Amino acid sequence: MMSATRDNIKVFARLTSRERQSKNMSAERVDSDRLRIGVFGGGSFGRQFVRVFDAHPETELRGVTGVTPDAGPHRETEYAVVDRETLLTECDAVAIGTQTEEHATDISDCLDAGTDVFVAPPFVTDPATGRELLTTATDRGCVVYTGHFDRHNPAITHLRRYLSSVVDEIVAIEVQRHSPPPAESVDDDIVMGSLVKDIDILDTLFEWSVDRVDATGTDEYGVATLQFKSDTVGTLKASRVSQQTVRRLTVTTPTVYIETDLLDQSLSVYRHNASAYVEDDGKRQFQEQNTIEQPTITRQEPLKTAVGEFVSTVRQRDALTATAEDALRSIEIGVRLQNQLAKPATTSEGGSV
C-alpha cells in the first residue's frame, strides 16, 4: 500500500488565484515533478481512474477515498484509502468518480482547496450550479476538466476530419448507445446517464445550435430527436436493458452513408456509384454498384487520451474550463430532453408531435 505522506507535500487550503499561481503552480514544480493525483469514488469510474492515472508517466497516484468495505477486491485497495481532506491538501488534482448527485459538492470542495479537477460525465445535473462552479474555477485559476471520453475515440477523430474535408451537407445523424443492465446501481436517468454523452459527441463533431428537441422513453430506454438550425436531424437511441452492447454513429448525406463503430474503433464510408437495368440471358435485372471505404485507424483508449489532455492543461494553465463549458452545453440540452420526458407523449418542445 502506498504511503499517504511525503516530506515535500504542500498544503493547499482555500487558496486565492494569486496564491495558487505562486505556490502550487510554480514553473519548477509543474515542469519537473509528477502531478499528485487523488481519486474520489470507488465505483466503476473510480476504478478506471485509478488504473489510468497510476499508469500515466507524469502522474503519481496518492490515494483513494470512497471505497466501501463491502466493495470487494478492487484495484483501489492496493493504494492508500484516505479521507477527503487529506487528498485535498496533499494532491495537485483530484479525479472525481462519485455519483453524479455528489459532483457539485465534490468539485466545490476541490476548488475551495485550490485543487484542479478531472470529473466523470455528466459534469453536474443543474446547469446553473455548473455555471457557478466554472466562475469559481476561473476566479481561483483552477482547471475543471470533464472527461467525455467518447470525443477522444479515434473513430470519432477520423470522422470529424472526414466530415470537415469531404462532406458539405448532412441530412441526418443517428447515434445508438445500448448496454446490458448495469452491474452497479446507477443514480442517473437515461438522459444524464447515456444521452448526454452522445449529445457531447455531436457537439464535438458539428458545434451546431439545437433548434428543437423531442424525447420519449423511460428511465432505462430513451429516444431523442434533435432538430438543428442547419436543418439536420439527429436521432439518439439509448438503452440500459439491451442484451447487446452497441456504440454506433451513422451519418447520412446525399452522396455517402458513414458508419462509425466506437467499440471496434472503425469507420466505413458507403458510396453509391451507379444503378441500371442490365440484360442477363434475355432477362432484365436491376443492378447496383457501391464502394466501401474503410480507413486504417490505430486503436487507442479514449480515457488515456483524455487523461493526457488533462495533464497538459494542468501544466500549461490554458483553457482551464473549456471541456466543462462543452459539457454544460450538453447538460442544458439534456435538461430540455428531461422536460420533454416529463410531458404527455402528445406534446413536444415547440408544438405538437
Q: Could you read off the pLDDT of 123-132 as tens digits, one per residue?
A: 999 999 999 9
Grid coordinates belonging to 146 = 470533464
d(CA 205, CA 208): 9
Residue 352 has what pLDDT?
Answer: 36
**Quick one: pLDDT band at residue 34, thresholds 50, 70, 90?**
very high
Q: Could you read off the pLDDT of 131-190 as tens digits, one per residue?
A: 999 999 999 999 999 989 999 999 999 999 999 887 678 999 999 999 999 877 778 899
**Domains of the chain, CATH where assigned:** 17-142 (3.40.50.720), 151-300+333-352 (3.30.360.10)
Strands 144-146 and 266-280: unpaired
Residue 241 scores a pLDDT above 50? yes
Residues 305, 309, 312: CA angle, nearest 5 degrees: 140
How many H helices and E strands in the chain? 11, 15
Residue 26 has what pLDDT?
Answer: 39
Q: In which residue are the cell numbers 516530506 written?
A: 7
